[in-house]
């Protein structure tokens, strides 16, 4: 380990522990406190980019989350070597639009990556996300080398006590999580919390040690500054990879919010299931990550 | 004209050499298929095998072109096209730079018994259906293994070093490439050849090509009846000996002013070295005097035989290496694969075993690193041939790269659509090892990765789901096996199909879903 690396990690571990003890949020350290007018924005009926622009505007625009000269990391789901219509990956148009808004807000650099399941170059290309990111002026980065990942502690985790996390997540000022809503053979649904499995290296441990608990545990680590759930096309069965376009429905929905548990709960309802039945959602609520009580939240519902 | 011969040869050979080497190094997939096929087209052994496999056809006529050229002007293949030949020249070139004394080759007699003996054995074995010896000795395949097994990791290491430096500067344009998982035992044979051939190149020039290489020996036979042969002009030759010093094949006898054209690799060093321009091509299809070669048992020959024997014995001894399996986890249920999985397009394990010369081009080209050379896992016949090791990675659903680049036809081209319906192996579920069964927690890693949902999660206890397999729609890509977190024996694995067969297309029904009009929260 290099000296600089060591220092960086030590400082980070210190911050992580401190934040954990005070039950504070990472977001305070990284992005400052922003009192958003809504806890969540839900949009329905439009194109992904259009819904995003209306939703983010109602939250005060991207400048409320990204300050001048900050670095931003965006984590879409790019897990599979399939085309956008199959909805196994986040909608590329949405990802491109988010990159654009971050840069307009004054971001110094916008990075996009995923620790993919299929061959990463093929995923990046065939998902259409690489092109969308580059066209928008962002940087697409590999997530497929252990050397990018650094071990961190997860002090509030029950089963998961440590994980190897991509350095971009650790080093960037703002972290935006952009999952796609879809069915999932193991986790029932894959939404925002499940999407965070793509920022860690050693996922086998999760599968071996109660997947639902580990997903919830990891959500106590660095909570994203913003979660944007793409539910434009939704894979209703055979997820997370899907077999054909016939697994997919066009739902034309989108959710944006900071509370990752609330976001997952709302998305589960969009999907037509009960959040209480998606193991990691109640698990995370128990750990104090967020709330599933949507009626207590201020939600802006937009129909496009 | 004669002045430029060597220059032309050197230029062309370097072009071929660099192109071939880069095929094996290219991890970023910069080359399209046609480049691969173009560069390997003229490789003699792969081209011959492909000719047999596809029953003729233009794309397999590379060896005919080589033969025609050979019949006209000698073994141009050996100095200009063969990557192992050029590799030896490069080694010889650099070794000369480090010598204090000026290095000179000198004439030596041919080891005819050895070279034609090896050629005969290799050809007979091949005709009887065993490609193993040919695979071990084919110069293109040997060089392929050098590039794939040794140079490629170094190249990637260099890339990674740069990538890490850039990464520190927050430049992510280059990326770190994971070096593929290798069974170190499979490096032994290439390493022996690597050291042996370098040593021979440094000390004896092209002795390997004229003694062991079956392609060299065969083309040498053809050279005996070439239309034009290099010849020393008796009238102008001053017997200064420069040509013999320059001859890396040691085939110029300056005393008799004779060139043993069967060993000449057409490098034209002699032509270039001659001050009196006495070395020239001469029309040779005229009745020639009978030449007699006295039998020789000089020391070098005995040395050489002894060393070759030692190498053979050494290699044979390795057959006893046994792969140890940890029995620390007695609770897990062990299983054994009946057949190693061969890549889509290889038709069946026998076709593959008989046609693959283990050049490792597919191993280099495989974007996921699933293809890996084997050692003695399937006996001597599969030695160094690749197989799909689905414990280290899995075959990408949309990819047919290996079938596109294979120069011998061991893996025949197939479309992505066909590949998606070709079952190279079949899934087996071992419930006793499954986490859902043993720990009562959710997992689904296997089904998650399955592109056809041949592995599907079905209701189990409570909210839990457990894998259920449908072998009919399984294509044997191995994504499930790769993804299964249980070790050392996994809960799901792919057993190779002896004969690849068609897989059923997964059924899919259009979903009957209504568009959501209102927010459900």
A98-102, B113-117, B512-516: range with lowest mean pLDDT: B512-516
In whole numbers, what is the pLDDT of chain A averaged over residues?
Answer: 90
Window 154-193 of A: residues touching B by CB (8 A cutoff) are: 184-188
Q: pLDDT by residue (tens digit) across B127-174?
A: 999 999 999 999 999 999 999 999 999 999 999 999 989 888 878 888
**Position B348 confidence tier, pLDDT thresholds 50, 70, 90:** very high
What is residue B509's predicted lDDT score, i.e. its pLDDT? 80
Please write down the HEC assignment for all residues of B377-419. CCCHHHCCCEEECCCCCCCCCCCCHHHHHCCCCCCCCCCHHHH
Domain assignment of residue B297, yes or no: no
Q: Residue B323's pLDDT is what?
A: 34
Asked, for residue B269, whether it belongs to a domain, the answer is no
Quote the pLDDT of residue B288: 53
Number of domains within chain B = 2
CB contact under 8 A, B178 and A145: yes
Distance between the two ends of chain B, CA-based, in angstroms?
Answer: 87
Closest listed residue to residue B444, CA positions, set B416, B464, B421: B464
Q: What pLDDT is attached to residue B306?
A: 52
Residues 6+ apart with CB under 8 A from B114: B211, B212, B304, B305, B308
Under the banding of pLDDT at 50, 70 and 90, the label for residue B28 is confident
| Minimum distance, in Å, between the CA of residue A22 and any CA atom of chain B | 31
Answer yes or no: do B354 and B221 share one domain. no
Per-residue pLDDT averaged across A192-220, rounded?
A: 96
Of B226, B247, B282, the domain-final residue? B226
Question: What confidence score (pLDDT) does residue A34 get?
Answer: 67
**The pLDDT of residue B174:** 87
H helices of B169-298, in order, are: 188-204, 207-211, 214-223, 242-246, 269-273
Mean pLDDT of B103-110: 90
* Domain endpoint, select from B226, B246, B275: B226
Does the beta-carbon distance from A279 to B463 stay under 8 Å?
yes
**pLDDT of A17-37, one tens digit each?**
333 333 334 444 444 456 789
Classify A37-303 by CATH class: alpha beta
Q: Is residue B322 part of a domain?
A: no
Q: Residue A242: pLDDT band by 50, 70, 90 thresholds? A: very high
Residue B127 is predicted with a pLDDT of 93
Residue B58 included in any domain: yes
Chain A contacts of B176, Cβ < 8 Å?
Answer: 142, 145, 147-148
Q: What is the mean pLDDT of chain B?
A: 89
Q: Which residues contact B124 (CB under 8 A, 6 or more apart)?
A: none
- Residue B443's SS3 state is coil
Mean pLDDT lowest among A34-43, A80-89, B323-332: B323-332
Identify from A110, A148, A207 which residue to disrupt to test chain B contact, counting B C-beta atoms within 10 A and taking the largest count.
Answer: A207
Q: Taking 70 as the threshold, does the pLDDT of residue B304 lie above it? A: no
Of A44, A187, A236, nearest to B516 by CB-CB distance is: A44
Domain boundary among B226, B260, B286: B226
**Contacts B481 to A, Cβ<8 Å:** none
Q: List the CATH number of the domain containing B442.
A: 3.30.70.20
Which token pair is B252? 């110029």
Task: For B240-288, write each residue's pLDDT tens digit.
Answer: 999 999 999 999 999 999 999 999 999 999 999 999 999 999 998 886 5
Please tell me whether residue A13 adopts helix, strand or coil conformation: helix
pLDDT of residue A5: 47
Q: Among A134-138, B56-60, B427-431, whose mean pLDDT is lowest?
A: B56-60
Omega within 30 of 0 (cis) for the link into B458: no
Pair type for strands B371-373 and B386-388: antiparallel
Q: Give a yes or no: residue B320 inside a domain.
A: no
Confidence tier at A16 by pLDDT (50, 70, 90):
very low
In-domain check, residue B137: yes
Strand A180-184 to strand A226-235: parallel, antiparallel, or no bridges (unpaired)? parallel
- Over range B79-84, report the average pLDDT: 96
| Structural domain boundaries enclosing B486 | 349-502
pLDDT band at B29 (very low <50, low <70, confident <90, very high): confident
pTM of the model: 0.87
Measured CA to CA, the distance from residue B116 to residue B119 in angstroms comes to: 5
Per domain, the residue ranges of chain A are 37-303
Q: Which of B169, B420, B441 to mutate to test the interface with A (most CBs of A within 10 A)?
A: B441
User: How many CB pairs (< 8 A) connect A and B?
Assistant: 138
């Amino acid at each position: 380990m290099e000296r600089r690396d060591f220092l960086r990690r030590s400082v980070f571990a210190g911050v992580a522990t401190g934040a954990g003890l005070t039950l504070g949020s990472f977001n305070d350290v990284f992005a400052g406190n922003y009192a958003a007018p809504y806890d969540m924005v839900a949009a329905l009926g439009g194109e992904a980019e259009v819904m995003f622009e209306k939703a983010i505007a109602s939250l005060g625009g991207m400048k409320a989350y990204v300050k001048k000269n900050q670095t931003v990391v965006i984590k879409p789901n790019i897990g599979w070597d399939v085309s956008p219509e199959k909805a196994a990956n986040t909608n590329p148009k949405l990802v491109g639009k988010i990159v654009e808004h971050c840069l307009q807000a004054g971001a110094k650099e916008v990075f996009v990556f995923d620790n993919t399941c299929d061959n990463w170059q093929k995923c990046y290309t065939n998902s259409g996300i690489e092109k969308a990111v580059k066209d928008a002026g962002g940087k697409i980065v590999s997530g497929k080398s252990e050397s990018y990942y650094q071990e961190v502690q997860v002090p509030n985790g029950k089963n998961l006590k440590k994980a190897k996390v991509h350095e971009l997540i650790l080093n960037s000022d703002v972290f935006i999580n952009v999952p796609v809503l879809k069915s999932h053979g193991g986790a029932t649904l894959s939404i925002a919390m499940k999407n965070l499995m793509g920022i860690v290296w050693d996922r086998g441990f999760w599968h071996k040690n109660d997947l639902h608990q580990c997903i919830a545990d990891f959500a106590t680590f660095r909570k994203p500054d913003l979660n944007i759930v793409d539910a434009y096309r939704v894979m209703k069965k055979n997820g997370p990879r899907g077999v054909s376009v016939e697994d997919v429905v066009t739902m034309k929905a989108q959710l944006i919010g900071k509370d990752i548990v609330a976001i997952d709960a709302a998305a589960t309802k969009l999907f037509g299931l009960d959040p209480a039945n998606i193991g990691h959602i109640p698990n995370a609520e128990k750990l104090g990550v967020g709330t599933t009580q949507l009626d207590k939240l201020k939600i802006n519902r937009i129909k496009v | 004209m004669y002045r430029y011969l060597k220059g032309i040869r050197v230029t062309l050979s370097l072009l071929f050499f660099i192109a071939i080497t880069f095929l094996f190094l290219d991890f970023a997939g910069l080359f399209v298929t046609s480049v691969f096929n173009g560069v390997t087209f003229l490789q003699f052994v792969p081209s011959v095998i492909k000719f047999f496999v596809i029953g003729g056809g233009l794309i397999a006529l590379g060896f005919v072109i080589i033969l025609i050229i050979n019949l006209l002007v000698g073994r141009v293949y050996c100095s200009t096209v063969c990557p192992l030949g050029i590799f030896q020249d490069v080694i010889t070139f650099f070794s000369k730079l480090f010598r204090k004394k000026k290095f000179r080759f000198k004439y030596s007699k041919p080891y005819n018994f050895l070279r034609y003996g090896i050629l005969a054995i290799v050809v007979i074995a091949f005709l009887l259906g065993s490609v193993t010896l040919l695979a071990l000795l084919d110069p293109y395949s040997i060089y392929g293994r050098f590039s794939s097994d040794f140079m490629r990791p170094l190249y990637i290491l260099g890339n990674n070093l740069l990538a890490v430096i850039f990464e520190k500067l927050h430049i992510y344009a280059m990326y770190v490439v994971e070096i593929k998982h290798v069974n170190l035992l499979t490096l032994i044979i290439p390493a022996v050849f690597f050291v042996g051939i370098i040593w021979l190149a440094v000390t004896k020039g092209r002795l390997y090509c004229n003694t062991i290489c079956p392609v060299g020996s065969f083309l040498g036979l053809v050279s005996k009846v070439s239309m034009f042969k290099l010849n020393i002009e008796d009238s102008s030759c001053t017997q200064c000996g420069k040509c013999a010093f320059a001859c890396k094949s040691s085939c110029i006898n300056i005393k008799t002013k004779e060139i043993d054209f069967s060993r000449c690799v057409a490098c034209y060093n002699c032509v270039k070295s001659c001050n009196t321009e006495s070395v020239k091509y001469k029309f040779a299809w005229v009745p020639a005097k009978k030449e007699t070669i006295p039998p020789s048992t000089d020391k070098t020959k005995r040395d050489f035989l002894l060393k070759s024997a030692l190498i053979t014995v050494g290699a044979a001894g390795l057959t006893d290496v046994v792969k140890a399996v940890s029995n620390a986890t007695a609770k897990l249920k062990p299983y054994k694969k009946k057949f190693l999985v061969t890549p889509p397009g290889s038709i069946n394990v026998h076709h593959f075993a008989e046609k693959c010369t283990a050049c490792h081009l597919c191993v280099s080209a495989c974007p996921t690193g699933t293809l890996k050379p084997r050692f003695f896992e399937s006996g001597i016949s599969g030695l160094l041939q690749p197989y799909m090791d689905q414990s280290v990675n899995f075959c990408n659903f949309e990819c047919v790269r290996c079938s596109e680049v294979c120069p011998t036809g061991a893996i025949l081209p197939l479309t992505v659509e066909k590949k998606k319906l070709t079952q190279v192996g079949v899934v087996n579920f071992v419930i006793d090892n499954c986490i859902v069964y043993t720990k009562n927690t959710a997992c689904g890693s296997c089904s998650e990765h399955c592109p056809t949902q041949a592995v599907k999660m079905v209701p189990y206890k409570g909210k839990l789901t457990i894998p259920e397999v449908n072998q009919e729609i399984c294509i044997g890509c191995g994504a499930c096996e790769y993804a299964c977190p249980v070790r050392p024996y996994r809960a799901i694995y792919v057993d190779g199909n002896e004969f690849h067969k068609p897989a059923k297309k997964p059924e899919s029904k259009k979903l009957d879903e209504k568009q959501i009009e209102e927010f459900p929260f």
